């Protein structure tokens, strides 16, 4: 027969064992998460002889930091970086602006078709991106009156081979609109009415009262879009395959893979890959808390 | 013209950019691709009306198409079967741990990494002879299989890499679900003398059901339409073993220029996703989940 003290003791012992188990598990998981990155990092620092040895030397004896500089000499990394920055920042600004405006209208105005519009925003999120790849490509191709096209969209390349081809399809996201609508719901309507009584115009109210109140929401969406767009590959590759001067960092690295099939050259490729992750990693470390909110908002309401 | 006052015009102005976008980049593509799916089109000559030929071909004459569908469902099912239990266990440990910011940053690292980097990193790790994984296995005396070169193993490898990518995301959603469980349940159970094992099975898991259902559904839909990893890591190979329907569709369109048939494939896959979603939404409701309020 176990006395009360025995039960308590065994429970604390059990819970201590459980705690150890939990941290062991978390640690193993963490190693699995990080190890592949370290593998690439060591790879990026290897010398050519180290790579060619059989078996290859795993830990580089004299880290070749110059491999990172070599990336800029061998690949148009700077151009890719600029392209990535231009497209990513444009998409972020456009998406945050369009989402904030539409979200505000959906949350704070009564107008004809509001419910329909909101249902559409929810429903449109169900349409997978692969459905749009083919038609969107040709809509940009046959966009009238741009890129050498006539009014019927014939004759030129349309919006293809321009930054707009990468940016425009991501100018609005339905999830973004939904997210901002949720944030806008929390803005007190009394405040807006009071401002209207004082004679403030609608756009002034939006910019001076509403936007400052939802800054955390805007930041959440912005970091979300930034990470997503920096990492976007499929669409950007589809429209820039024939336009090397528009390729972004990940797309450029991928399309140039043919030049790095030789073992001797792989260190430079691995260094380039490391560089492609760096900007998001930095942005993410600083703005992590906003990212948490973005993932959990609009999720489950159990 | 009473309706034309600021109260009606203002919301329209705020909605204007999104409305224009919806027309040009939503309704137009959805309609255009439906139109093209009933035509034979190589983008060089004008589309030629084809009726249901593309659909009939894919569903009854193209053995490749079925194979990719099977691959698609194996991938989606596999990522759920492995990824969600893993996310549950890790989130359970994570939610009661200290230094959460550190753990979270580590587990999210793969999630914020671009797919090209993910694919190339794993190509090195899973390399047959000198990859980190097989060298590690060799250290303990195990033979290293051809993770990406063996057609019967490649899908498993792709699933594992995808699970690795998504773990941080799923873990976060589960731990958010865990945090929303009221502490009083645990206190009551503890006062009644339940131990941790009981508490997990009898309290945590049932109360987590909505979260798990939500994960199942969203992960499944993501899995069915996903192809970026296969495109970059295995290019659908070896021997078509990781060729999923959306990747098949993409190559059909942009390598073979069979745009009509590719559009039909896209619509068939979309219809499947739609049906699966409807079934799951019903499950949702029965499971007491309100996805959006």
| pLDDT 10s digits, A73-89 | 999 999 999 999 999 99
Orientation angle between helical segments B100-108 and B63-95, nearest 10 degrees: 170
Instruction: Please report, for the domain that includes residue B185, its CATH number.
Output: 1.10.3720.10
Of A224, A222, A284, A233, whose CA–CA distance to B226 is shortest? A233
Domain-embedded: residue B46: no
Cβ of B112 within 8 Å of Cβ of A281? The answer is yes
Specify whether the CB–CB gap between A101 and B18 falls below 8 A: yes
Q: Three-state DSSP class for B48?
A: strand
Query: What is the ipTM, given to two decimal places?
Result: 0.89
| Sequence-distant (≥ 6) Cβ neighbours of residue B273 within 8 angstroms | A126, A128, B221, B224, B225
Domain-embedded: residue B148: yes
Q: Does A4 touch chain B (CB under 8 A)?
A: no
pLDDT at res. A5: 46
Extract the tokens encoding B78. Answer: 């596999």
Q: Which of residues 66-95 of B touch A (CB under 8 A)?
A: 89-90, 92-94
Number of domains present in the structure of chain B: 1
State the pLDDT confidence band at B129, using cuts at 50, 70 and 90. Answer: confident
What's the rounded Cα separation, in Å, for the pair B161 and B156?
Answer: 9
* Number of cross-chain residue pairs from A and B with Cβ atoms under 8 Å apart: 260
State the pLDDT confidence band at B73, using cuts at 50, 70 and 90. Answer: very high
Q: What CATH class does A67-296 carry?
A: mainly alpha
Q: Residue B177 sits in which domain range?
A: 52-286
Query: Contacts for A20-25 with beta carbons within 8 Å, 24 or more apart?
Result: A21/B93, A22/B92, A22/B93, A22/B96, A22/B97, A23/B93, A23/B97, A25/B89, A25/B90, A25/B93
Domain-embedded: residue B19: no
Q: Does A251 touch chain B (CB under 8 A)?
A: yes
| Sequence-distant (≥ 6) Cβ neighbours of residue A82 within 8 angstroms | none
Q: Is the pLDDT of residue A291 over 60?
A: yes
**Chain segment A217-276, per-residue pLDDT in tens:** 898 899 889 999 999 999 999 999 889 999 999 999 999 998 888 888 899 999 999 999
Residue of B18, B115, B273 lying closest to A172 (CB–CB): B18
The share of chain B scoring above pLDDT 90, in percent, equals 55
Alpha helix stretches (DSSP H) within chain B? 6-22, 28-37, 53-56, 63-95, 100-108, 115-125, 132-139, 154-179, 183-191, 196-198, 205-207, 209-225, 228-233, 245-254, 259-286
Domain-embedded: residue B138: yes
Residue of A39, A101, A102 lying closest to B125 (CB–CB): A39
Domain-embedded: residue B239: yes
Residue of A37, A124, A172 lying closest to B121 (CB–CB): A37
Q: Is the pLDDT of residue A9 over 90?
A: no
Give the pLDDT mean for A185-194: 90
Of B222, B58, B41, B266, whose CA–CA distance to A132 is shortest? B266
Hey, which of A213-217, B97-101, B157-161 has the most confident mean pLDDT?
B157-161
Q: Does B29 touch chain A (CB under 8 A)?
A: yes
pLDDT at res. A33: 95
Listed by start position, the domains of chain A span 67-296
Q: Does B191 touch chain A (CB under 8 A)?
A: no
Residue of A134, A138, A171 lying closest to B266 (CB–CB): A134
Domain-embedded: residue B211: yes
The minimum CA-CA distance between B104 and chain A, rounded to whole Å, is 9
Domain-embedded: residue B154: yes
């Amino acid at each position: 027969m176990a006395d009360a003290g025995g039960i308590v003791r065994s429970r604390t012992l059990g819970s201590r064992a459980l705690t150890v188990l939990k941290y062991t598990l978390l640690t193993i998981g963490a190693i699995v998460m990080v190890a592949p990155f370290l593998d690439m990092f060591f790879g990026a620092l290897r010398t050519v002889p180290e790579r060619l040895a059989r078996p290859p030397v795993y830990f580089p004896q004299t880290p070749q930091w110059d491999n990172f500089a070599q990336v800029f000499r061998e690949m148009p990394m700077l151009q890719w970086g600029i392209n990535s920055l231009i497209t990513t920042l444009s998409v972020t600004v456009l998406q945050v602006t369009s989402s904030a405006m539409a979200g505000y209208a959906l949350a704070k105005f009564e107008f004809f078709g509001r419910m329909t519009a909101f249902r559409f925003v929810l429903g449109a999120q169900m349409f997978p991106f692969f459905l749009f790849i083919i038609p969107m490509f040709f809509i940009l191709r046959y966009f009238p009156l741009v890129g050498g096209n006539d009014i019927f969209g014939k004759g030129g390349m349309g919006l293809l081979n321009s930054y707009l081809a990468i940016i425009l399809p991501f100018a609005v996201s339905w999830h973004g609109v939904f997210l901002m609508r949720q944030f806008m719901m929390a803005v007190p309507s009394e405040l807006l009415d009071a401002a209207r009584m004082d004679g403030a115009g609608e756009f002034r109210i939006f910019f001076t009262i509403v936007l400052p109140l939802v800054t955390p929401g805007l930041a959440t969406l912005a970091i979300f879009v930034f990470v997503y767009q920096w990492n976007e590959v499929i669409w950007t590759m589809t429209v820039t395959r024939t336009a090397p001067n528009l390729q972004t960092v990940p797309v450029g690295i991928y399309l140039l893979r043919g030049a790095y099939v030789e073992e001797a050259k792989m260190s430079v490729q691995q260094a380039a890959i490391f560089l492609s992750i760096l900007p998001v990693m930095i942005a993410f470390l600083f703005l992590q808390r906003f990212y948490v909110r973005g993932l959990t908002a609009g999720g489950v309401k159990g | 013209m009473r309706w034309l006052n600021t109260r009606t015009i203002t919301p329209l102005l705020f909605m204007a950019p999104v409305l224009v976008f919806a027309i040009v980049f939503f309704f137009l593509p959805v309609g255009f691709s439906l139109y093209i799916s009933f035509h034979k089109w190589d983008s060089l000559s004008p589309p030629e009306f084809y009726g249901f030929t593309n659909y009939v071909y894919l569903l009854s004459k193209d053995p490749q198409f079925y194979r990719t569908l099977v691959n698609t469902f194996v991938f989606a099912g596999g990522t759920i079967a492995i990824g969600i239990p893993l996310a549950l266990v890790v989130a359970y440990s994570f939610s009661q741990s200290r230094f959460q910011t550190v753990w979270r940053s580590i587990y999210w690292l793969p999630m914020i990494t671009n797919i090209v980097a993910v694919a190339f990193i794993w190509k090195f790790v899973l390399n047959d002879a000198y990859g980190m994984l097989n060298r590690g296995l060799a250290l303990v005396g195990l033979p290293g299989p051809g993770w990406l070169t063996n057609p019967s193993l490649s899908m498993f490898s792709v699933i594992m890499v995808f699970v690795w990518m998504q773990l941080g995301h799923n873990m976060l959603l589960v731990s958010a679900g865990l945090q929303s469980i009221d502490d009083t349940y645990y206190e009551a159970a503890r006062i009644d003398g339940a131990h941790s094992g009981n508490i997990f099975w009898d309290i945590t898991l049932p109360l987590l059901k909505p979260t798990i259902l939500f994960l199942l559904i969203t992960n499944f839909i993501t899995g069915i339409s996903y192809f970026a990893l296969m495109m970059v890591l295995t290019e659908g190979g070896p021997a078509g073993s990781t060729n999923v329907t959306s990747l098949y569709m993409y190559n059909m369109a942009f390598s073979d220029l069979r745009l009509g048939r590719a559009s039909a494939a896209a619509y068939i896959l979309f219809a499947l996703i739609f049906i699966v979603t409807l079934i799951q939404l019903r499950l949702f409701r029965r499971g007491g989940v309100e996805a959006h309020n």
